Amino acid sequence: MKLKNIMLIGLFAAFILTFITGCSGIGGGGGTEYTLIIACEGSGRVADESGYAIVTRRYASGSVVNLVPVGDTAAWAFKNWAGPNGGEVGNNQITMNGEKNITAVFSPLTHNVTIEVSGQGAVSRELVMGGLSLPTYKGDKIRLNPVPALGWYFDHWEGDLTSYELQPELVVDSDKTITAVFKQPIAYTDFSESAENKTSFLLPQGTWEKTSAVAHSGSYSWTDSPNGNYSENPFDISLRSCAVNMNGSQHPYLAFWHRYNTSAYCSVEVSKDAGVTWAVLADFYGTKDWSRMVVYLEDYKSDIIVVRFRIKKTSSYGSVSDGWYIDDVCIKDQPVIHYTAFNEGAESETDLVCPAGEWGKTTESSHSGSHSWTDSPGADYKSYVDYSLITCIIDMNGSESPYLEFWHRYNIGSSAYCYVEISNNYGETWSQVKAYYGRGNIDWQSQVIDLGAYKTARIQIRFRIYAYYYTSDGWYIDDIRIKESSLFSNYFDDAESGSSFMVSDKNHYILP
């Protein structure tokens, strides 16, 4: 009985040993096993058909092993097999007929980034992200640095990179050809853009484009969304000027016409370092029909500047709207005129006054001649307006007892005010010297304001209407002059003598 049990145990053990050795390799033909050792050169690994990495593994003699080389990132590709037994690998398979030692060689993928230059300048590049030094490899991130030649400035990128960014970063995922465009600044006296010409001093970014839907003058204007409302998604896009050389200017200002219907943030900004930093000159949102905007550039009169019209939406919330329209953009220099020569009658084309908002000349009513200035020619002024008629710079040196005289008529609502204001710092701050409100006077009347406090200064005068809620006909101005009189400094009138320093004009008194 014991002998029989011992024989049965022996037979069972032999069966198990045969089964194990027969199943130890793919296509194996016996109990012999060999070791496969795989090394990698470069960045990658070798896996089996199931995706498991092979470093050291034993296979039965005669087994055929499938080898799957995989680069660690998209920047690495399998190149070839090497090592003592690399030449035995065919179609990424090796037969285990002995000990095998194989090396999988991986090489980085490279792409050509060709930089071309238009104008005069150069471009350097630096690696921002990547494990290798230049030249450029697939997946690397590089930064481009434009270096303009003396008297030139960097304007924008063209080709496989369309951008106005000064130092853009890009991921190299293919061969690229990029052009850096350098230009020479234009003189501020030449900067005038009406959107009508094929060549333009304004450079659109994002969805900015010319449109024929509306225009202040001619047939075209610039807009951020030419095909309807702007996007409901966040965006930040600009209409940029070329570089403008302000050298030689004395008292420059930027003027343009615009209309907008937007809940997005609109701003006019200026840069004097080619777009690295920006200063906001004016900002607005809401709804407004065509009006003229004037922005002073006193702080930039010796710089090379870039101006941009920027519209920005920071979230997906809020309504979408028609957007912003820009037309008739220019930079001008305010003239300086001696007070004795200042005489504005609205009859001729001069630079003695600068209209902003909807101020313009009209033939509806005038004190003399056929024209006057008004805040809303041909119509009532609108709700929520703040428009000004601003004089040029007036040199008061040499004056003794100067006064401002103008003729006006006005009819304004209960929520509107008309102000006469004076600045002696080129428009930086304004002081109110007179205010009018209510229905006012239908007939033309003369107004006199003492300027004795400014007799050695350079001043500007502005006629400003501020209104909200209700609308009405508005304010008319004509025959603006600065005169001399001894009356303000040596005034006495007892109303008893036959001669008088004052003459009556209905319920007002004016200087003779």
Cis preceding linkage at 355, omega within 30: no
Strand partners, 132: none
Provide, rounded to the nearest whole percent, the portion of the chain with pLDDT above 70: 87
Average pLDDT over residues 253-270: 94
- Digit-coded pLDDT (tens) for 7-29: 444 444 444 433 333 333 344 44
Residue 209 has phi, psi (to 5 degrees) of -160, 165
Contact criterion met (CB below 8 Å) for 500 and 493? yes
Residues whose CB is less than 8 angstroms from the CB of residue 183 and which lie 6 or more positions away in sequence, other chains included: 119, 152, 153, 155, 242, 243
Provide, rounded to the nearest whole percent, the portion of the chain with pLDDT above 90: 61
Residue 87 has phi, psi (to 5 degrees) of -70, -10
CATH number of 336-505: 2.60.120.200
Give the DSSP H/E element, type plus range, for residue 8: helix 2-22
- pTM higher than 0.75: no
In angstroms, the CA 46 to CA 67 distance is 6
**Residue written as tokens 């200002």?**
253
- Digit-coded pLDDT (tens) for 195-254: 987 767 898 888 999 999 999 999 999 999 998 889 888 899 999 999 999 999 999 999
Contact criterion met (CB below 8 Å) for 94 and 88? yes
Q: Sorting pLDDT into bands at 50, 70 and 90, what band is 438?
A: confident
**pLDDT at 130 > cutoff 50:** yes
Q: Sorting pLDDT into bands at 50, 70 and 90, what band is 468?
A: confident
Contact criterion met (CB below 8 Å) for 152 and 175? no
Contact criterion met (CB below 8 Å) for 469 and 416? no
> Which among 489, 492, 487 has a CA at the least distance from the CA of 511?
487
Contact criterion met (CB below 8 Å) for 102 and 85? yes
Residues whose CB is less than 8 angstroms from the CB of residue 336 and which lie 6 or more positions away in sequence, other chains included: 250, 251, 392, 393, 394, 395, 458
Tokens of 299: 């702080």
Average pLDDT over residues 124-133: 73
Strand partners, 60: 33
Residue 388 has phi, psi (to 5 degrees) of -135, 150
In angstroms, the CA 216 to CA 210 distance is 13
Q: Sorting pLDDT into bands at 50, 70 and 90, what band is 493?
A: very low
Phi-psi region of 80 (alpha: psi -120 to 50; beta: other; left: phi over 0): beta
Strand partners, 308: 240, 269
Cα distances (angstroms) measured from residue 422 to each of 2, 100, 318, 434: 127, 94, 40, 10
> Which among 402, 423, 433, 406 has a CA at the least distance from the CA of 340?
402
Cα distances (angstroms) measured from residue 77 to each of 44, 71, 80, 137, 300: 8, 5, 10, 12, 54
In angstroms, the CA 71 to CA 364 distance is 80
- Digit-coded pLDDT (tens) for 314-332: 887 777 889 999 999 999 9
Contact criterion met (CB below 8 Å) for 416 and 472? yes
Which letter does DSSP use for residue 381 in this model? P
In angstroms, the CA 307 to CA 268 distance is 7
Q: Sorting pLDDT into bands at 50, 70 and 90, what band is 132?
A: low
> 192-333: which CATH architecture?
Sandwich (2.60)
Q: 178 or 43: which carries more pLDDT confidence? A: 178
Average pLDDT over residues 103-126: 90
In degrees, rounded to 5, the angle at the alpha carbon of residue 512 between the alpha carbons of residues 436 and 398 is: 90
Contact criterion met (CB below 8 Å) for 62 and 27? yes
pLDDT of residue 68: 94
**pLDDT at 133 > cutoff 80:** no
> Which among 289, 394, 416 has a CA at the least distance from the CA of 344?
394
Phi-psi region of 414 (alpha: psi -120 to 50; beta: other; left: phi over 0): alpha
End-to-end CA distance of the chain: give it in Å, rounded.
Answer: 152
Average pLDDT over residues 266-277: 92
pLDDT of residue 197: 76
Average pLDDT over residues 371-387: 92
Which letter does DSSP use for residue 110 in this model? B
**pLDDT at 30 > cutoff 60:** no
- Digit-coded pLDDT (tens) for 148-168: 888 888 888 999 998 888 889
Average pLDDT over residues 368-383: 93
